[in-house]
Chains A and B, each alone.
Chain A
Amino acid sequence: MSDSRTTSSPTFADVNRDVLRTLNPPGNLYFAWMCVVALGLAGFFLAWAGQVWWGMGMAGKRVPQMWAMYITTFVFWIGIGHAGTLISAILYLFRARWRTSIYRAAEAMTIFAVMTAGLFPLIHAGRMWFAYYLLPYPNQRTLWPNFRSPLVWDVFAISTYLSISTVFFIVGLVPDIAALRDASTGWRRRIFSMLALGWEGSDTQWRHYRRAYGLLASLATPLVLSVHSVVSWDFAMALVPGWHSTLFAPFFVDGAIFSGFAMVLVLVLPMRHFFGLHAYIQDKHLDAMGKLILVTGLVLTYFYICEIFTSLYSGEHIEKASLFWKVTQTYAWALWTMYFCNCVAPLILFWRKARTSPFVLYVVSILVLIGMWFERFNIIVPSLGHDFYPYTWGIYYPSPTDTAIVLGSFAFFLLLFLGFIKLMPSLSIVEVKETIPPPMREGPHAH
């Protein structure tokens, strides 16, 4: 991938054209991917239907691993869902301009990841047809959810996160949809007109818009940090050795950012390649992303060390036994895979050439995603497998049902994302324009 196309700066009209070009009718490759997605989704829903019909026993769970791959994948997707809002909110507040070309895709990824994650509590519940009991709705029995339960905190945190991310996303989209509206005809135009809410880009609209956007960003920032903290408390609030740790909140947030950025790269690099967006997603963007992955990876390594250290230093027999078992016994392969993927693999990003090489970045990102999935797996399955009570120690084996659902969740995510890139501008027209020099009759000057 050459840098030749990035040399001359595009104009505002180029931006509109380039971005709108991504919405052209898709080619065969796209449909080939859709077929893969269709297969995955069919497996996903059939497995789910089987599980509802025959019971949770279709999934490989047991005593003591009453939670296993569903919650693993749930936390994984929630983690993925962190990069988007982080990029759009925190980096917005820090005025990191390199965010502009990737933030739309990242935000979409966030929403879809959270939606995917949101399926898992349903899939996971033994009686999902009563899942609405978790919502605080007034009813004749005067029964309410237990606000002391971390799962109810999850309900609040995740639904708030999904709502605010969606709002943030839509607010960002409005001016772009207006541009879309003005560039399209027929029924598309009618739909876009409705979605654009009649946006015109007048000065009044812009001033409230800018203020609202800033406020949303400042609300979303603590939210991002809180969501994965709350998810981490699902574990930290429990007694299970290997879960009961105050370290978990920052540990999870960092891991979430780490995996989120990896997922952004996994999605953005092919987009850049296939849509020819090299002018907007430049090497400096990749470099910045690579640095972030490196830093969060190093922080994560620090947390791993802390985890082991506290467990050893505590002198707590059961904690130590749990750790020792994880490191050396049945699931040791998963633990060492995780250490390799999350601690060793990102180290290559110390090297600048690696940070700007799409291939290396892609490989590292995939490894990071694998590693982060295994991190959640290692927290859940081996910890439960060797906890307080030796009588019930046991090994969890995934069943075809769990496997189909976990793989199917990736198909579900891809369906949403692939659909999105063909329906909505996956680069922010407005914000990309902000990064290129505005048109000046007197010639460009420093911005």
Chain B
Amino acid sequence: MSGKAAVGALGVVLLAVLIFLAISSWSRQSSAADAKPSVQPINFPHSVHVGTYKMDCQYCHSEARRSEYAGLPSVERCMGCHKIAAADKPEIKKLAAYHADKKPIPWVRVNKLPEFTYFPHKAHIRANLKCQTCHGAVETMTTFGATTGPRVTNDLLYLVGLKPGGPPLSMGWCIECHREQNAAGKQAPLDCVTCHH
């Protein structure tokens, strides 16, 4: 019967459209990319630089104290040490190749906040925050990686009454710290538009 066929066809169309709605909706949910330990163009061990040689974070990420961004060291700065230090290692040879070609190193981004979030490193360095507070125990990481940003599972845990705490670099996690700082007499803003504008 044509009617039954029509109803069947309708079912298929509806299903397709619902799937489309679901997918297109989900794809618009702007969540921060959760980067797993990443494959970097050069295997850079933070553990050696920070852990073994006790280098200051801001020696390389020198923009942190004056800019919104922490910044990455220029290839020139890397080469400042690595012209001599460990120059024979294969990874350092890769670095030297970038330097010789005058090309920037295409590092893969690990820590990323959504576009609608304004996070100034400067203000946090001014407040004497340690880098590790947000970025984890960098001195132990051979490959830098982080799982950041909000996760659905986290909200689900809250929904069933658990309080797992915000995952790093998620809003709940920022807020927790800001509230603690305010309770300790510091001035950490809690105004929405300070970070979302």
Direct contact, A vs B (beta carbon within 8 Å) = yes
A interface residues with partner B (beta carbon < 8 Å): 28, 30-32, 34-35, 37-38, 41-42, 45-46, 48-49, 52-53, 127-130, 137-142
| Residue contact A139 to B21, C-beta cutoff 8 Å | no
Is the beta-carbon distance between A45 and B13 smaller than 8 angstroms? yes
Cβ-defined partner of A35 (8 Å) among B3, B159, B167:
B3
Q: Which of B3, B4, B28 neighbours the largest number of chain A CB atoms within 10 Å of its CB?
A: B3
Between-chain CB contacts (< 8 Å), 24 pairs: A28-B1, A31-B6, A31-B7, A35-B7, A37-B10, A41-B10, A41-B14, A42-B13, A45-B13, A46-B17, A49-B17, A49-B20, A127-B28, A129-B26, A138-B155, A139-B172, A140-B155, A140-B167, A140-B171, A140-B172, A140-B173, A141-B166, A141-B175, A142-B175
The 8 Å CB contact of A140, one of B3, B26, B150, B161, is: B150
Secondary structure type dominating chain A contacts: helix
Query: A31 near B4 (CB under 8 angstroms)?
Result: yes
B4 to chain A, nearest CB (A): 7
A129 and B25: CB pair below 8 A? yes
Chain B residues whose CB sits within 8 angstroms of the CB of A46 once the complex forms: 13, 17
Max chain B CB contacts within 10 Å: which of A53, A137, A138?
Answer: A138
User: Is the CB–CB distance between B9 and A45 below 8 Å?
Assistant: no
Which residues, 1 to 33 on B, are CB-close (under 8 Å) to A? 1-4, 6-7, 9-10, 13-14, 17-18, 20-21, 24-26, 28-29
- Given the interface pairs A137-B155, A140-B170, the reply to whether A129 lies near B29 with Cβ below 8 Å is yes
Known contacts: A139-B158, A140-B172. The answer to whether A28 contacts B3 by CB under 8 A is: yes
Cross-chain contact of B155 among A28, A41, A139 (Cβ < 8 A): A139
Contact A48 B6 (CB under 8 A): no
Tell me whether A140 and B29 are in contact (CB under 8 A).
Answer: no
Which residues of the other chain, A, contact B13 by a CB distance below 8 angstroms? Answer: 42, 45-46
The chain B residue with its CB closest to the CB of A46 is B17
In Å, the complex CA distance between A333 and B173 comes to: 56
Q: What chain A residues lie within 8 Å of B10 (beta carbons)?
A: 37-38, 41-42
A48–B25 Cα gap in the complex (Å)?
12
Q: How far is the CA of A56 from the CA of B4 in the complex (A)?
A: 34
| Chain B 24-79 residues near chain A, CB threshold 8 A | 24-26, 28-29
Q: Which residue of A lies closest to B158 (CB)?
A: A138
Complex: how many Å from CA A35 to CA B7? 7
20 further A-B contacts with Cβ under 8 Å, apart from A35-B3, A38-B6, are: A28-B3, A31-B7, A34-B3, A35-B6, A37-B10, A45-B17, A45-B18, A46-B17, A52-B21, A52-B24, A128-B25, A137-B155, A137-B158, A138-B159, A139-B155, A140-B150, A140-B164, A140-B170, A141-B171, A141-B172
What residues on B are CB-neighbors of A140 within 8 Å? 150, 154-155, 158, 164-167, 170-173
B168 CB, nearest partner CB in chain A, Å: 11
CB of B172 within 8 A of CB of A142, answer yes
Residues of A near B159 (CB, < 8 A) are 137-139
The minimal Cβ–Cβ distance linking B127 to chain A, given in whole angstroms, is 22
A42 to B20, CA, bound (A): 14
Q: How far is the CA of A35 from the CA of B150 in the complex (A)?
A: 45
* B173 adjacent to A34 (CB under 8 Å): no
Cα–Cα distance between A138 and B3 once the two chains are bound (Å): 46
Q: Mark B139-165, 1 if CB is under 8 A from A, else 0.
A: 000000000001000110011010011
